[in-house]
C-alpha cells in the first residue's frame, strides 16, 4: 500500500476513472501510474502516486467531506446529499435511519466509483454520521 507523501499515512488505491473524474483538467495528464486516495482529514492531499505526485484539495473539483471545514459537506455523492440535508431531516422529525434515508434520498445511487472521490460506497461515511446525529437529537432514537 502506498503512503501519502504529505501526512505519511497509508492511502487507499483508487481507479483511474475516479481520479480523472474529480481532478481539474488543468492537472491532466495524470499519467499511467496508479493513484491512492488520502483519507486523512487534516491533510490537503486528496490523491497521490508512488512517484510522489500529489493532487491537493485545490486541484480537485469535488469537495471531500472530511477534508472540508465549511458547508456544504457531501455525504452521498450519487444523490447529492449533504450533512446539512441530514440534520435538516432530523430537525423536521426524522427519528430513525430509515426515516432520514426516506427524507433525504441518501444512498443507493450505484455510481460511487465515479461520483465519490474515494471511489467507494459512501455508506461507510453517511451511516455513522446519521447514527450520531440521531443520538444527538431530541429523539435519541438509534437506527
Residue 100 cell numbers, joined: 432520514
Residue 60 cell numbers, joined: 480537485
Task: Note whether 84 and 120 are same-domain residues.
Answer: yes
2 assigned to some structural domain: no
Task: Note whether 37 and 75 are same-domain residues.
Answer: no
Task: Note whether 40 and 88 are same-domain residues.
Answer: no
Q: Which of 67, 5, 11 is nearest to 36 (CA)?
A: 11
Question: What is the spatial distance between Cα 29 and Cα 53, in angstroms, rounded to a whole number?
Answer: 12
Tell me, yes or no, if the pTM score tops 0.85. Answer: yes
Total domains in the chain come to 2
**Where in the sequence is the domain holding 21, given as residue range(s)?**
12-59
Q: Pick from 25, 43, 59: which residue ends a domain?
A: 59
Task: Note whether 43 and 71 are same-domain residues.
Answer: no
pLDDT tens column, 1-26: 799 999 999 999 999 999 999 999 99
Express as a percent the part of the chain with pLDDT over 70.
96
Task: Note whether 51 and 84 are same-domain residues.
Answer: no
- In 9-138 the beta strands, taken as DSSP E runs, fall at 12-14, 35-37, 45-49, 54-56, 74-76, 81-82
Amino acid at each position: 500500500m502506498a503512503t501519502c507523501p504529505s501526512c505519511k499515512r497509508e492511502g487507499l488505491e483508487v481507479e483511474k476513472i475516479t481520479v480523472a473524474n474529480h481532478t481539474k483538467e488543468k492537472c491532466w495528464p495524470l499519467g499511467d501510474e496508479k493513484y491512492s486516495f488520502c483519507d486523512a482529514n487534516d491533510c490537503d492531499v486528496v490523491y497521490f502516486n508512488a512517484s510522489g505526485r500529489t493532487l491537493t484539495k485545490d486541484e480537485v473539483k469535488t469537495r471531500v467531506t472530511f477534508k472540508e471545514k465549511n458547508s456544504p459537506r457531501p455525504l452521498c455523492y450519487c444523490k447529492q446529499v449533504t450533512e446539512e440535508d441530514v440534520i435538516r431531516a432530523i430537525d423536521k422529525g426524522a427519528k430513525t435511519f430509515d426515516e432520514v434515508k426516506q427524507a433525504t434520498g441518501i444512498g443507493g445511487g450505484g455510481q460511487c466509483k465515479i461520483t465519490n472521490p474515494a471511489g467507494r460506497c459512501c455508506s461507510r461515511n453517511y451511516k455513522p454520521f446519521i447514527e450520531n446525529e440521531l443520538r444527538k437529537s431530541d429523539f435519541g432514537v438509534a437506527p
